[in-house]
Structure 1
Amino acid sequence: MKAARGWQVDVETKRAASLAAGRTHSPVLGSWWYAAHIAVMALCIFFAVARWNAIPQQIAVHIGPDGFPDHYIYKSVGTVFMMNSVQALMIPLFAGYNLMISRARTSLDPQDREGSLRKQLKLKKIHSITAWGISLLGIANLGLLQAVILYGWNLNLLIRCNISFMAVFFLTLIGVLLYLRLRGLDQQRDIPSQEERHWKWLGSIYANPEDPALFVLDRYGFFWTINMANPLGKYIAAATIAVPVIAILVAIFNFR
């Protein structure tokens, strides 16, 4: 009757938001798992300190077309531990992404609350484990690059490891996406954030000032994103961009 008279009728959404779900179900790996990354970095630092006297005063950082070094940098604390500085910048970024997954809103289906909860927690777990493994390989790869530069390890070893790393990265990504599709885990949607008007830049940025959530599932159900209308979200996004930029600048500054 209200609809017939032109009144607005509240439409019951098919899903209800549950912000407390992650607090009781441990949806992701604990932050202490990233101690493995710190251990790799510490091992790299230990070797650099232990072999300080064996490191040449001029360090080759570029190989010319003829296969011989054509650019050198002088040995210093900054140049020797440059890769460790990059590792130290990247580890909090990876750990922060893991924390973002754990804090992201979980949407439940009122008709199957337990089933939808299990699926979304499993989705978070898969992403958390995948991000941890790939980031650990990335930190180890930086350590290998440091060893090639400082200790004269075979450059072909680095090339083979980089190729292997990229192969593992893409195969893992494809495998995870296929697994999510086959298990129906990519069908999850965060109903409060699905309105088209809240997504900017071809659906890559979410901005909804009326949504209290800081992290939400993206509109495609694969990854998580930040609510850019949230003041804290802007700081987190800025820090996320600043960290890799600073890491690149550190490398450029020391390679001059």
Structure 2
Amino acid sequence: MLLITILFISVIQVAIPFLIKRTVVFGVTIPYEQASHPMLQSYKRKYAILTFLVGITVMISYILGNQSAMEETKLVLFGMISLFVVLLTSLSLYFYFHYKTMNLKKREEWFRGVKQVRVADLALRSKDEMLPSYVHLIPSLITVMLIILSAQLFDQLPNQIPTHWGPNGQPDAFTDKSWMSVISLPLILFIFQTMFFGINYYTKRSGIKLNAANVTSAKLRQLRLRKYTSWFLFITNILLTILFSFLQLNLLYENLFNDSVLMLVPFAFFAIILAGALGLAIKVGKVDSDLEGTLVMDHTKKQDSIDEDRYWKGGLIYYNPNDPSIFVEKRFGIGYTINLANPIGYLILFLPVALILLIQFTI
């Protein structure tokens, strides 16, 4: 599983510069007509090659470690370190090329003489195919049933109940029986389901930002991003419900599933999530990006979108008090990030994390 994760992260990191929208390069806003600038293309290739080499080196090292007599615990630790090496290396390379792109933009004064405008299409909302937010609350009915079932079987459970299962499918950590320890999994699941509802609801209400120089491709990208992100979120919700229900039933009914099933279900969950994330990246990333092909200008070269670099810290963190949107498209990656200037965003993302940690500490 760790090897698959390292491979997936490496592939995604290599591909990201070519999947993000053309008017953003390493988190820096550029005029649409500069998307094919030879220096920018060189930065992207160098980033991809260096990230690829690091990913290959890390995977080979992990495979060799797996074939050696290394203990399982040490091998898992080595795999986690290898994963962080890939992520930290790609992040370091990102910041390096981020500042090189900023300096190139400043030195060549790309926005000098270019009229910066905002483009809005009021009819675009009617074409939005995002799923309705209430669908994320439907799986919560299963969660309620799990809590009721757990309460009915509480007296029949042993005084020590498992809280963690090892790679072999056998429990390797236990805790004293209490109401919180018995229903903690359904409670955490319900928090996730509520969070998914909030993310979908406020993403649906967030603004649809269009590229003033290429409105046609920008519309298609935004519609795809919204549609497939909502579907990915819903599928994740369903899979989490299945996984948590499986774990809870295994807790309530001892030996309900054999060891092979206990190992297979989490692996299948993980594999489907990764496949979905890859599908989302491809579906969205092949529009209004380097994969789309030839640049097509919808407007004169003297007109382009607003340069919003001042609202992006390092091209990754968005803080714009003037933007009512809670979620906006990422500048490096596929999907959405939060507008940290809007307090509702903190409630949607950070409050659930705090509640889950509180549940864990009370067990």
TM-score range, shorter chain: 0.7 to 0.9
1:153-192 matches, cutoff 5 A: 153-154=256-257, 155-184=259-288, 191-192=305-306
Shift of 1:91: 1.1
Report if the CA contact (8 A) 2:162-2:251 is conserved. Answer: yes
1:17 corresponding residue in structure 2:
120
1:124 corresponding residue in structure 2:
226
Question: C-alpha separation between the residues in 2 aligned to 1:211 and 1:57?
Answer: 53
**C-alpha distance 253-16 of structure 1, shift in aligned 2 (>3 A):** same
Report if the CA contact (8 A) 1:82-1:250 is conserved. Answer: yes
Shift of 1:87: 1.4
1:96-107 matches, cutoff 5 A: 96-107=198-209
Question: C-alpha separation between the residues in 2 aligned to 1:41 and 1:82?
Answer: 11
1:206 corresponding residue in structure 2:
318
Shift of 1:78: 1.7
AA partner of residue 142 (structure 1): F
Question: C-alpha separation between the residues in 2 aligned to 1:92 and 1:64?
Answer: 29
1:248 corresponding residue in structure 2:
357
Shift of 1:73: 2.8
Question: C-alpha separation between the residues in 2 aligned to 1:161 and 1:129?
Answer: 21
Question: C-alpha separation between the residues in 2 aligned to 1:70 and 1:113?
Answer: 56
More deviation in 179-188 or 123-132? 179-188
1:143 to 228, 245, 249: 245
AA partner of residue 12 (structure 1): K
Alignment length (residue pairs): 239
AA partner of residue 207 (structure 1): Y
SS at match of 1:106: coil
AA partner of residue 198 (structure 1): Y
Shift of 1:112: 6.9
Question: C-alpha separation between the residues in 2 aligned to 1:66 and 1:30?
Answer: 40
For structure 2, the 5+ residue unaligned runs are: 1-111, 293-303
SS at match of 2:138: helix
More deviation in 127-136 or 205-214? 205-214
Q: What is the CA deviation profile of residues 138-175 of structure 1, one whole-angstrom value per residue up to 9, with x for unaligned ones?
A: 12212222222232233542321111111111111112
SS at match of 2:115: coil
Q: What is the CA deviation profile of residues 171-210 of structure 1, one whole-angstrom value per residue up to 9, with x for unaligned ones?
A: 111122122233447989x944x5333211x322111334
Q: What is the root-mean-square deviation in Å for CA atoms of aligned residues?
A: 3.4
For structure 1, the 5+ residue unaligned runs are: 1-8
1:110-121 matches, cutoff 5 A: 116-121=218-223
2:162 corresponding residue in structure 1:
60
AA partner of residue 123 (structure 1): L
Question: C-alpha separation between the residues in 2 aligned to 1:67 and 1:87?
Answer: 21
2:61 corresponding residue in structure 1:
none
- The alignment status of 1:195 with 2:308, answered yes or no, reads yes
SS at match of 1:29: coil
Q: Which has the higher contact order (CA 8 A, sep 6+)?
A: 2
1:4 corresponding residue in structure 2:
none
**C-alpha distance 142-186 of structure 1, shift in aligned 2 (>3 A):** farther
The percent identity for this pair of structures is 26
AA partner of residue 335 (structure 2): F
Question: C-alpha separation between the residues in 2 aligned to 1:104 and 1:208?
Answer: 13
> TM-score w.r.t. structure 1 length?
0.76
